[in-house]
Amino acid sequence: MPKPDTMPHRNNLVLFLPLCFLVLTSVAAAQNAAPNSAGKSSAGDASPAPATSAGQSGDNEAGTFVFHTGVDEVVLHATVVDDKQHIITNLDRTAFTVFEDGKQQTITSFRHEDIPVAMGIVIDNSGSMREKRDRVNKAALNLVRSSNPQDEVFIVNFNDEYYLDQDFTNSIPKLKEALEKVEARGGTALYDALVASADHLAKEGKLQKKVLIVITDGEDNASQENLEQAVQRLQKENGPTIYAIGILGDERAKRARRALQTLAERTGGIAFLPKTADEVDEISRTVAHDIRNQYTIGYKPTTPKSVGGYRTVHVDAKSRGYHKLVVRTRSGYYAGQEQAAGGTN
């Protein structure tokens, strides 16, 4: 299936999305030029605020968070757990050491706050998901409710094709309506749907932190991309973190499990493999908790980004009082391939 320049909506009005984006951009510019009498702003409408320190954060007058990064910085979103898999949230900058291609890097920005995220919820709409969709939809909405209220979320439903059924919003009713567009049929083009969703995040997402949550019950059997090609596309600079939930049967579990674990681990996320759809709601809350308790670490690589190529990344954390800490973040990235639209928010 040829890749569209924009994610197709359910009604296939492919030209509708860029047109709306231009209109919304013009409206947002007008709103930023005028005083906001209500004192209220969305994450996508924020005007730049002065940084409180290099690479650190600042708030504009309307209270919307803005995160400033240098153009040469690599930004990592990292979760830290102890040997009992408890999330550790009280570390400071000195606890972390960053390595790129085995060479220690100098941390240039650091913070640990709950910041808004651009999030895509990508849900399998193939025939085998028919009986699971009600529980999956409920879990997806509870994930959004448990997340930062300034998050911007879009919904993609996929079978052997994929559709953008709701563009970026934080409206629960709109997200609910999109999730209910169930046409459980056809195959599973998981990799194509993830790559297209990542492209949409890069081109249209205004927030620096990006996440994709994919829920499926089977192995990819309809994509043009294979697993390694999809992973490479997802490992661009500032690419999304993948959280995968696989409700897999025993017969096809091995290959599907490997695929979901690879997608998650390479991008700094987690793959969950529940036995039934009844567990998905609890998992969704775990994912929301993980996203809201990450450290944001920036560094300027000693090898310029202009050199290009793949870079491995590893982060260590050590702190008094903890026997062993494990840092989960992306395993690497392809330098010079960032496609950020919003840039530094």
Mean pLDDT rounded to a whole number for the chain: 82
Element (H, E) at 140: helix 133-145
pTM, entire model: 0.81
Give the closest residue to 216 by CA, choosing from 176, 165, 253, 178. Answer: 253
Name the stretches of the chain with pLDDT < 50. 1-5, 11-68, 339-345
Question: What is the token pair recorded at 114?
Answer: 């709950």
Tell me, what's the pLDDT at 16?
36
pLDDT of 69 reads 53
For residues 291 and 288, give the distance between their C-alpha atoms in angstroms, rounded to a whole number. 5
Same domain, 269 and 213: yes
Sign of the Cα pseudo-torsion (184, 185, 187, 190, in order): negative
The number of distinct structural domains making up the chain is 2
Q: Which domain holds residue 123?
A: 116-292
* Domain containing residue 207: CATH number: 3.40.50.410
Assigned domain for 238 exists: yes
Q: What separation in angstroms does the CA of 63 have from each of 52, 105, 118? A: 14, 33, 18
Q: Are residues 100 and 242 in the same domain?
A: no
pLDDT tens, position by position, 234-281: 999 889 999 999 999 765 578 999 999 999 999 999 999 999 999 999
Q: Are residues 150 and 91 in the same domain?
A: no
